[in-house]
Amino acid sequence: MCGFFLSICNEDNFYIRQNSQSLNHRGPDANQDFEIFDDKINFCKGDSNYHGFFNRLSIRGSNENQMQPIKLSNNKILLYNGEIYNTEFLINKFKLITHNKFLDTKILGEGIDKFGLEFLNYLDGMFALLILDINNKQITIIRDYFGIKPLYFYQSEKNLIVCSELKPIIKSINPSKISINYEYFANSKNMMDEALGQTPFNNIKKLLPQQIIEFSFKNRKIKKLNEKFLDSRVLNQYENKIKNPIEIFKTQISDYKMNDNKSGLLLSSGVDSNVLLKLLNSQNNFTFKSGEVNIDEDIILKKNKKIDNKAVELPAEKLLSFFEKFCSKSYEIEDNIGVAAQMGLYEKVSQNKEIKVVFSGQGADEMFFGYDVGVNLFFQDLINNYNYKDFIINEKLLNNYDDLSWKIKLDKLRDQYLPKFNLKILINNYSQIFNGSFKKNKIKDLNLLLSYFENRLKKRLPKLLRWEDLSSMHYSIETRLPYLNLYYYNIRKELNLKYFFSPLGNKFFLRKFLNSDNRENNNFDQTKKLGYTINSNKVFSLANKDKDLTDISKEINLDITSAYNLSLIYWTKNFNKFNEIKYLLKENKQVFY
């Protein structure tokens, strides 16, 4: 896990040179600067605007020379951030010279060198890549299938900057050349910014999951040459023999565990992280302690599940502090106080210097049709954004239920409230209508179900993954997400619905696996996941007592009543864009109020 930066800038008054310190948190173990000349690369620090740097966090093959940039043939280099898990498969399939499966950087370099971009379609892992072709004056950037690893780029007619994080790009541009992207703010409120690859700044975009873009930098001009997407060819050789999807994860978990250091696990009282606890036999488990009995994960784990862990106590004042810290790193608008708890957990993990890798259950709801979180949020998004058309279209899935009383409630919602889109009534009725309905074994249409969660994969999951990456890498910790597994993802449409739903609950095959050892007082048949539940109102109450925040709130006329609003206030303060934000809010009242 690492970080990298590359600039091809042809305007001196535009560019402010950066150095490897700006990404040191992503790779404190080693760094390498380089400069690009007409026909070669010099590994040194200099004054050229054609330059880059790489920061290494050493996780696998620590004693081997895996420093980057990686020199390829034909005067090319490779920059890589991430982990490749199916290295043994790649070695055997492509008959690679590199035989040590721990050396994913060398395997990746050899595979790309010999087989080109087609090699990337066979990777199961998380990665952001940059290939620099000196001879042909071309740059190619690629992002993994789910978008686990971020990659940002600035493009104008004469300048191209690529980086693992947004902040160093902003710092490398003359402030007078930066303008805000008004469309981003409305789209982020409507959950569309990730799907569109937008940021709050003009000309700076996020590479989309699976996306490949090729640029030319000939004759001191930047030109986009081509754009395409990865086509995953990752298939499980035992797919026809699989009787239960859990077998895939039991088989693959050893690949995800490859690591020269100790590892930890982010643990909640829910099914997903407890399956990982069992698969990994983890000894270093970290959870969030709220101090409120009904929602305290630590209390639930110790009392009801008999599971011990390292609890992180985060009262409201600490959550507010961590939320501000996260916003100052992300440079984007965030909509969930949960990122504060996430940062608090990673800070706790970082106190153990032997742990460099942490496992998380992120992505499980999208992979296993976690209705309580996934579908409920999907419909809540539609309600909150007044998306009447999509609500009616997607209601087709709900009609597959045979629960007559539930149908009556839905009809009432649709006929009485939806046409007028009375937001207050919709939200008040939302929990009553959806709560518990998805745990019944009544789903009939797997294809329609898959289409729902493909939507979530594009709109919401990349934001959750961005939070995970920024929170962990701020403390030089790599997060691994075993549920975002392409072997499973590529065959799940062939699986029987019985694996996912039973009268006892959703994610049935996970619950069955957890209960297979008959652990006393550890029955997960009907467990409702709480998952770091936070009393956000306490955080907002504290924010409303902060004079600096309330002064900004009054000036831009935006109440501190949600994580989104609080984040927007921090953003306004950080970038001193008061007039721009006042204009934005005034012109888009329907969206923001």
Tally of CB atoms within 10 A around 373: 18
Give pLDDT, residue 534: 75
Residue where one domain finishes, among candidates 176, 201, 229: 229
Domain boundary among 517, 535, 564: 517
Residue 527, in any domain of the structure: no
- Note whether 203 and 266 are same-domain residues: no
Decide if 442 is inside a domain: no
List the helix and strand counts (H, then E) for the chain: 24, 20
Is residue 125, in this structure, part of any structural domain at all? yes
Number of domains in the chain: 4
pLDDT of residue 301: 79
Where among 175, 195, 229 does a domain terminate?
Answer: 229
Let me know whether 587 and 556 are in one domain: yes
**pLDDT score for 503:** 64
Distance CA 59, CA 477 (A): 10
Are residues 116 and 174 both part of a single domain?
yes
Residue 401 confidence (pLDDT)? 41
| Buried-exposed string 460-477: b where 16+ CB fall within 10 A, e elsewhere | bbbbbbbbbbbbbbbbbb
**Three-state SS across 275-295?**
HHHHHHCCCCEEEEECCCHHH
Q: Which residues of the chain have pLDDT under 50?
A: 372-374, 376-378, 395-403, 406, 423, 426-427, 429-442, 520-521, 526-527, 529-530
**Residue 553 and residue 507 in one domain:** no
Domain membership of residue 531 (yes or no) is no
Residues 198 and 293 in one domain: no
pLDDT digits (tens, 9 = 90+) for 474-511: 999 999 999 999 999 998 888 877 788 766 667 888 88
Domain around 471 = 239-367+461-517
CA distance 34 to 50: 9
Beginning with the edge strand found earlier in the chain, give each strand of the sheet holding 138-143 in spatial order.
Answer: 70-72, 76-84, 125-133, 138-143, 211-216, 223-229
**pLDDT of the residue at 300:** 77
pTM of the model: 0.88
Does 535 fall in a domain?
Answer: no
Domain of 246, CATH number, reads 3.40.50.620
pLDDT at site 312: 87
